[in-house]
Structure 1
Amino acid sequence: MRADLAYTHAVPKAHRTGHTVALGVDWGLNTLLSAGTVQLNGEGRITALGAGAQFRAAGVLAKQHRLRRLSERLHTKADHYMRLIAGHDHQLAPKLDVLRSEIQHVSNRRSNLNDALAWAAARWTVDQAIAAGATVIYVEDLRSMEAGGMGRTLNTRLSQQVRGQIADRMRHLATEQGITVVTVPARNTSKLCPHCLTPLRHRKAPDRPTIAGWKWAICPHQDCRWQSDRDHGAWRRIAARGLTHQATTAYDHTSGHMAIRTVLDNLEANAVLTPTPKTNRKDRTKTGPTRPRSTRPAPRRRRAPSPARPHGPAGQRPEGHAHTDRTRLPRAAHRHQGVNTTSTPTTSRHRPRGAALGAGFHLHAHASPPRWETIPETQSNPGSPS
């Protein structure tokens, strides 16, 4: 015995106005969702909170596309069998039944995949709003993307993104948190600069030059020069437009959805984002005299102290060429190298610099200092042959 009981619980009330922190959501083709948060300050200035994020589902969309192509081929084959049968008892009738069962199986797979994708995208969007402390989510109007003249391929890609299901799941999850979901017109959201409303110039992305499409937007205004991904500019425009026109939000009693239907020109001129002022995090106030710094610092290998001289006969090799027991490296002329000193040439044209100092033919190649030992003098015998 199974019983299906309805369960309801109280949720916070969603408000149409009075929002200061909003999450803007933009729809895309390759990137399913692009979202970011903006804040409305007391003086009417709108600033962006962070760089935004993107919800990418390329793998799921590719699988969805393959299932759609498979479904189209199965439907085409089933229609061909039906024309061959033409209402008569034909031997292709059992094959037609198998095709119909396969079509139903593929349709169920597509429905389950769309439902899972819709819940995942809606959950991600609501989590972004909760993490940023936003009280409203402004979503691009889905109906504005269904325009004519886009071509068969683009219209198919638009219809395969289950945007209506994502919006419904988004409203359901946001209502439980007291977050309002409002749709705004999508006109010129990717065309105008979010900082100065200047028409953007679209280029290939600098980090993806081989990928087709004009994903990178650059503002040609000399005082602005804003540039970023065009989807990031779109969610900034959507969020700023929603906060500016939130007084015109209308409630549809039939569907229970909130929407901003029209855009006012005088308010649209103020729906711009101002750059966040850069603050100096480090206090550089001078509290004393400046330390003297040498214009010629020591070499890098000399800055670290050499290890202490070991007590035993063996140990760690000292740093560089300087010995640990000598405070100053003397010149070759003071090394008592009388027996090892190279004579200074007088006839040859080549005069090595180190030869005059007794350091060999290279200025920096020094011989090890000899260990002078006291040799006792012996008395020689005059009668001996030695």
Structure 2
Amino acid sequence: MLHLPTLRLAGGKVRADLAYTHAVPKTSRTGHTVALGVDWGLNTLLSAGTARLHGDGQITARGHGAQFRAAGVLARQHRLRRLSEYLHAKADQYQRLIGDTTRHSLTGRHEVLREEIRQVCDRRSNLNDALAWAAARWTVDQAIAAQATVIYLENLRSMEAKGMGRTTNTRLSQTVRGQIADRMRHLAAEVGIAVVTVPPRNTSRHCPRCLTPLRHRKAPDRPTAPGWKWAVCPDRAGCGWQGDRDHGAWQRIAARGLAHQAKTVTDRATGQMAIRTVVDKLETQAVITPTADTSRADRTKTGPIRRRSTRPTPRRRRAPSPIGPCGPAGQRPEGHAPTGRRMLPRAAHRHQGVTTISTPTPRLRPGGPPSGRHRPRGAALGAGFHLHAHATPPQWAQPTPEAMSCMGSLG
């Protein structure tokens, strides 16, 4: 459905923005069996995976999940942030030196600095917008591939970055989580996938299988990397789960969303869906049930191993070469052409017949006349032909020879 256009000025021209709406599948608050859980991170921006709710109430994880890493973009974003802070501090110093003076020597430099600040802010805005669209598109594509009907997203508005240090607090405040969530809702609505926010309490702290508080340590494959990315369940006898803490977090988010989907509410003002509270009775059911590990077929040796042949690799052509033809046609080569001759003879001209070949080179016989046997030295149509290439005459140029005629091979 087309709507009335909106007129605006852009570069001295009047432009009309014509908006339209189209029908999309309706999203549902409840009744979901396959869900995609999404967890936020610092270095790993997004960690997502799929969980399934079975008829008996058990929740199982499908696959090992995936991660959306944007370390390069985030590093670029932090550099621009530091540059912006430096330029703002310098501009404030210029402003204090200028004061109320109308004609100051630093006024021109201050204007140049303000223009540079505006350009850096535009670059940061464009980078954040591109990152938000890329992360949202990746998340929705993961849900479409897994045939999930809902995306459970961790709601971080209620979290406060306290006691984590100045650097971590600044990085948390500079991320584009709000833009990613908005873009995610927009892209998911086009395919009929609901986006529901869940409370983030203890999603990275408790075990996804038994809800036991986890112990965090360095990853075994990266012992020198800073941080505590690896989580281990202390209940070795009953559970014994261990893995990346981000993977455990998305499993907790997906299980919590599937168990609390009856508590999903819709905001009347914005239309956003959310699970606002965690019920203890339902939380005990929000656990991931381990599935049987599927492995390859049993390769145990039950008999003697078949001996491999020691014969060399068969030749390209197993049939022997044909004997010399009784006619003037050339002999079909066996295998590849000889590599002794590097360059082909130069073509006489380009306007030749389809069956034209090189001029036969007679071979002198000791004590006798030259041999009339044809020895092709290369096609005269160009240097790209095979040394022993022959063109089969078309039906309109020459009648088909009889079966018993001694014409040799024309292949």
Given the two structures, how large is their TM-score scaled by the length of structure 2?
Answer: 0.69
Deviation at 1:159, TM superposition (A): 1.5
Q: What stretches of structure 2 of length at least 5 have no aligned partner?
A: 1-13, 313-411
Match of 1:35 in 2: 48
Distance change in 2, residues 1:18/1:168 (3 Å): same
Q: Output one character per residue of 1:57-96: Cα deviation in whole Å (capped at 9) or x when no partner.
A: 0000000000000000000000000000111021100000
Quick check: 2:161–2:172 contact (8 Å CA) kept in 1?
no
Look up the equivalent residue of 2:82 and give its one-letter code.
Answer: R
Match of 1:229 in 2: 244
In the TM superposition, what is the alpha-carbon distance from 1:307 to its structure 2 partner? 4.2
What do residues 215-257 of structure 1 show as CA deviations (whole Å, max 9, x unaligned)? 0001111221111000000000000000000000011111211
Residue 181 of structure 2 corresponds to residue 200 of structure 1: no
CA distance in 2, matches of 1:112, 1:43: 48
Q: Distance in 1 between matches of 2:296 and 2:250?
A: 29
CA deviation after TM superposition for structure 1 residue 304, in Å: 3.7
Q: 1:91 to 1:271 in 2, by over 3 A?
A: same
Provide Cα deviations, 1:290-344, integer angstroms capped at 9, x if missing partner: 9765xxx89xxxx444549xxxxxxxxxxxxxxxxxxxxxxxxxxxxxxxxxxxx
**Residue in 2 aligned with 1:239?**
254
Any residues of structure 2 matched to 1:120-135 within 5 Å, and which? 120-135=134-149
Match of 1:256 in 2: 271
User: SS of the counterpart of 1:142?
Assistant: coil
Aligned to 2:167: 153
Q: Which amino acid aligns with 1:52?
A: G
Q: Quick check: which has more Rg, 1 or 2?
A: 1
Q: Distance in 1 between matches of 2:136 and 2:303?
A: 60
Paired residue secondary structure (1:164): helix
Residue in structure 2 matching 1:76, options 89, 101, 109: 89
* 1:331 paired residue number: none
Aligned residues: 296
1:119-143 deviation per Cα after TM superposition (whole angstroms, max 9, x unaligned): 0000000000000000000000121
The answer to whether 1:209 aligns with 2:223 is: yes
The separation in 1 between residues aligned to 2:303 and 2:71, in whole angstroms, is: 59
The reply to whether residue 188 of structure 1 matches residue 211 of structure 2 is no
Distance in 1 separating the partners of 2:88 and 2:153: 35
Aligned counterparts of 2:256 and 2:148: Cα–Cα separation in 1: 15
Does the 8 A contact of 1:146 with 1:155 survive in 2? Answer: no
- Structure 2 match to 1:24: 37
The SS at the match of 2:247 is helix
What amino acid sits opposite 2:217 in the alignment? Answer: R
Structure 2 CA distance for aligned equivalents of residues 13 and 52 of structure 1: 27
For residue 175 of structure 1, report the CA deviation from its aligned partner: 0.3
Go from structure 1 to structure 2 and tell me whether the alpha carbon gap of 1:69 and 1:280 turns closer, same or farther (over 3 Å shift).
closer
Q: 1:92 to 1:40 in 2, by over 3 A?
A: same
Give how far 1:261 is off.
Answer: 0.4
Q: Deviations over 1:179-226 (max 9, x none)?
A: 000000000000000011111111101111111000000111122111
Q: Describe the superposition over 1:5-32 as per-residue Cα deviations: whole angstroms up to 9, x where unpaired.
A: 1211111111000000000000001100
1:177 pairs with 166, 185, 191, which one? 191
Structure ranking higher on relative contact order (CA contacts 8 Å, 6+ apart): 1
For residue 270 of structure 1, what is the aligned residue in structure 2? 285
Code of the aligned partner of 1:90: H
The verdict on how the C-alpha distance between 1:279 and 1:83 changes in structure 2, with shifts beyond 3 A counting, is closer
Structure 1 residue runs of 5 or longer lacking an equivalent are: 285-289, 309-386
Give distance in 2, aligned partners of 1:275 and 1:134.
20
Q: Could you tell me which amino acid in structure 1 is paired with residue 19 of structure 2?
A: A
2:197 is aligned with 1:168: no
What is the distance in 1 between the residues matched to 2:72 and 2:27?
35
CA positional deviation for 1:145: 3.2
- Cα separation, partners in 2 of 1:178 and 1:81, compared to 1, 3 Å: same
Alpha-carbon spacing, 1:107–1:283, altered in 2? closer, same or farther (3 Å): closer
TM-score, length-normalised on structure 1? 0.74
Q: In structure 2, how many angstroms separate the alpha carbons of the residues matched to 1:129 and 1:68? A: 33
Pair 1:291–1:20, CA change in 2 (3 A): closer
Please give the alpha-carbon distance, in whole angstroms, between the structure 1 residues aligned to 2:143 and 2:173.
Answer: 26
Classify 1:74/1:129 alpha carbon distance in 2 versus 1 (closer, same or farther; 3 Å). Answer: same
Could you report, residue by residue, the CA deviation over 1:258-313 in whole angstroms, capped at 9, with x for unpaired residues? 100000000000100001124577599xxxxx9765xxx89xxxx444549xxxxx
Question: What amino acid maps onto 1:214 in structure 2?
Answer: W
Measured after TM superposition, the shift of residue 148 of structure 1 is 2.9
SS of residue matched to 1:94: helix
Residue aligning to 2:409: none
Kept in 2: contact 1:244–1:270 (CA 8 A): yes
Q: Which residue of 1 aligns with 2:113?
A: 99
Alpha-carbon distance change, 229 to 306 in structure 1, aligned in 2, over 3 angstroms: closer
One-letter amino acid matched to 2:32: H
* Contact 1:142–1:164 (8 Å) recurs in 2: no
1:84-117: CA deviations, max 9, x gaps? 0111021100000000000000000000000000
The residue number in structure 1 matching 2:25 is: 12
- Distance of 1:124 and 1:280 partners within structure 2: 29
